[in-house]
Structure 1
């Protein structure tokens, strides 16, 4: 299991546990409420049947109290432990209770004269773990007509027996555990799906990235073949720039843009005529004017090319100088993008240390003397302060290196900063 899979497993497990911890109490509450409502519905239905059976619905006649007393006594011995029947004016006509009801009565809250129009109930804790359900039912002549005139009121209290309490507890616990298990199983089922989709997405992203890097290399090699007959310079300067940038804290998109820009810094030379680009002698002023246009042409090539768009900072400003004497814009100091200031040091260092068709390589001391001389005019002193301690190690790593060696060095940085495994 790699780092991503571990993070995914931990996050999905955490979400599953959180969902289970939130959903389980809710399911417990809902199951308990449903159980209570089922008991109440059954009790109301049963009491209504008995009230109609004993003619204790029409409570305005001379026999109303007698009928109410018989009905209350019968009901109190069945689904309810306390049964109270009131006439339409809220006057109590009959009351009956079991021993359980007598014991619970003192713990029940008192209430005023009945006046409700619809059935309801309340759940009451009476003592210890015991609890009771208290129902309020308006009486009408028709059991099905909920809009008819109210002829009386029935109020009943059921002290939930231990066996029923345990049954409700078991039902609620089962529902809560099932919801908890479903949440955990859902997380377990999602994990392989997420990992598979992520791996597929990573594979596709890697393919796109590989194609982008291949395109970058192709562009770099194309101009290197025309300009210096080798692509090693592009690999070396991109690697040197990345080494400096790492010590300066660059990472992520900024580092990727620096590497791409360093590799493609001279891509605009593709648009320079061969007569000028490949001229063996010195260029005259008019030819230099044309040669300098490679900066603008390179900026136009990389700008708008998606992920290569960030490379334009180096491509457009790699000939600017710290004192403002560079081209094409004459930028100075920190107005020059940091990536371009880093690249300037890497580019000149490699150019001085490398063998070219028109010159032999300079030694390390002579190269550093030139860079030190131009620090503060051509080069950013802060970049030079970072580069100076690592310069000798870089020189030794690149001395006598081939293009393949330089390519491998850069590939290490590409894998690191482009998150390729």
Structure 2
């Protein structure tokens, strides 16, 4: 869980910082845009007010040019550096320019005859580092009346106002960044708490699945053995070998499940055949071999046990292709089944059954070597042979309870069960 918490904290922090990195510039732009619009709205409103007071909204009378010039002069020097007033047909009637306006006028882009119907503006950064706002206002005697002229003004944003806009934008972007970080900090404990609950429930489900797997495996094993220890031993032997061969994760889990349930199909084999002390005749052997197909039917569709099919369906296949039920050979046999085959034969020869006594360790290993390259995968057998003395020593004298404890430790490790 500690690893999960570290990963969760890292991911939430990364997402939070990414959100802040994206939101802060956006907040900056929005704030600057809003500040620009406030300046423009004030300039547009003030220009309308001055033009209205000086009767310069209607620009088609004999005094239109003089009134327009007076209004243009009033609008320059404080609010605008350049003020231009046009007649309804787009003819310039008046213009007033401050000394600062003369400096920037040549840097402004040219435009055609005004024909616009709505107020607008341009935000223009100039080469000298200055920032100007160019305002376009159609003049009307009433809000919905016809356009009676046009006013265009250029305002150089003073340094104090630029500083204020930057400061306001910075504060907004900082607030957005902090809000993102606070949200991440608040979300983190909620995510961890929900994850703990889900993990606890998942652990309960997993433990119940494993308990069911063990119970079914023990019930099957006791059909032809005094105890269910065979399944624990053979699963532990197979998992120990598979670990050295590099199996892990889902592949290891499937091997363990398949080891427990490898003989699931024997539940459908009559006792007279299953417990017969002597060799089976051909008819009896044909019946015995049906336990593979019956076992596959049992685990198929069981969800999390589907991975056990490789072992259940192929543990009687042989390296040279002489096994059953499909006659698979070599690497066409699933690796988990090849590993299990060695562990199963080793335990069968080493264990007491109702119809036989256990063989000595040296004799068991000699029999296994006889099947190298025919019955068994040479690589798997060689790996197992190196481990076998120590594995055999650890199993010596263990009853079913002790063997179950040995396998439980293995299950907990590979199924990530918390203890």
Same fold (TM over 0.5): yes
Determine the structure 2 residue equivalent to 1:412.
409
Give how far 1:280 is off.
4.3
Residues 1:240 and 2:240 are matched in the alignment: no
Whole-Å separation in 1 of the counterparts to 2:325 and 2:146: 96
Query: Deviations 1:284-324 (Å, cap 9, x if unpaired)?
Result: 44333322222222111111111111112111221222222
Whole-Å separation in 1 of the counterparts to 2:77 and 2:196: 68
Give how far 1:160 is off.
1.7
Match of residue 256, structure 1, among 245, 253, 269: 253
SS at match of 1:355: coil
Match of residue 222, structure 1, among 206, 219, 232: 219
Pairing 1:392-407 to 2, within 5 Å after superposition: 392-407=389-404
Match of residue 275, structure 2, among 269, 275, 278: 278
Change in CA separation of 1:331 and 1:102 when aligned onto 2, cut-off 3 Å: closer
Give how far 1:72 is off.
1.1
Whole-Å separation in 1 of the counterparts to 2:324 and 2:138: 95
Match of residue 386, structure 1, among 358, 371, 383: 383
**Further displaced range: 353-362 or 56-65:** 353-362
Contact 2:275 2:355 in 1 (8 A): no
Whole-Å separation in 2 of the counterparts to 1:279 and 1:370: 23
Query: Deviations 1:103-161 (Å, cap 9, x if unpaired)?
Result: 5434434444433333221112346654221111222332x12xx54332211112222
SS at match of 1:88: coil
Match of residue 182, structure 1, among 179, 182, 200: 179
Change in CA separation of 1:403 and 1:334 when aligned onto 2, cut-off 3 Å: same
Pairing 1:86-125 to 2, within 5 Å after superposition: 86-125=86-125
SS at match of 1:49: helix
Determine the structure 1 residue equivalent to 2:136.
136
Determine the structure 2 residue equivalent to 1:298.
295
Determine the structure 1 residue equivalent to 2:157.
160
Give how far 1:77 is off.
4.3
Query: Deviations 1:47-99 (Å, cap 9, x if unpaired)?
Result: 11211221112222211111011111222244323211122233322222445
Determine the structure 2 residue equivalent to 1:37.
37
TM-score by length of 1: 0.93
Whole-Å separation in 2 of the counterparts to 1:125 and 1:182: 31
Give how far 1:405 is off.
2.6
Structure 1: segments with no counterpart, 5+ residues:
none
Give how far 1:219 is off.
0.4
Determine the structure 1 residue equivalent to 2:84.
84
Match of residue 369, structure 1, among 366, 370, 376: 366
Give how far 1:235 is off.
0.7
Query: Deviations 1:178-210 (Å, cap 9, x if unpaired)?
Result: 111111111111111211121111111111111
Query: Deviations 1:248-291 (Å, cap 9, x if unpaired)?
Result: 22222221111101111112121222333334454444333322
Whole-Å separation in 1 of the counterparts to 2:356 and 2:225: 12
Determine the structure 1 residue equivalent to 2:311.
314
Give how far 1:102 is off.
4.3
Whole-Å separation in 2 of the counterparts to 1:321 and 1:372: 14
Contact 2:44 2:137 in 1 (8 A): yes
Determine the structure 1 residue equivalent to 2:65.
65
Residues 1:360 and 2:357 are matched in the alignment: yes
Whole-Å separation in 2 of the counterparts to 1:357 and 1:401: 18
Determine the structure 2 residue equivalent to 1:21.
21
Whole-Å separation in 1 of the counterparts to 2:293 and 2:182: 59
Whole-Å separation in 1 of the counterparts to 2:111 and 2:322: 95
Aligned residues: 418
Whole-Å separation in 1 of the counterparts to 2:102 and 2:319: 98
TM-score by length of 2: 0.94
Give how far 1:172 is off.
0.8
SS at match of 1:226: coil
Query: Deviations 1:349-369 (Å, cap 9, x if unpaired)?
Result: 112222334333223221111
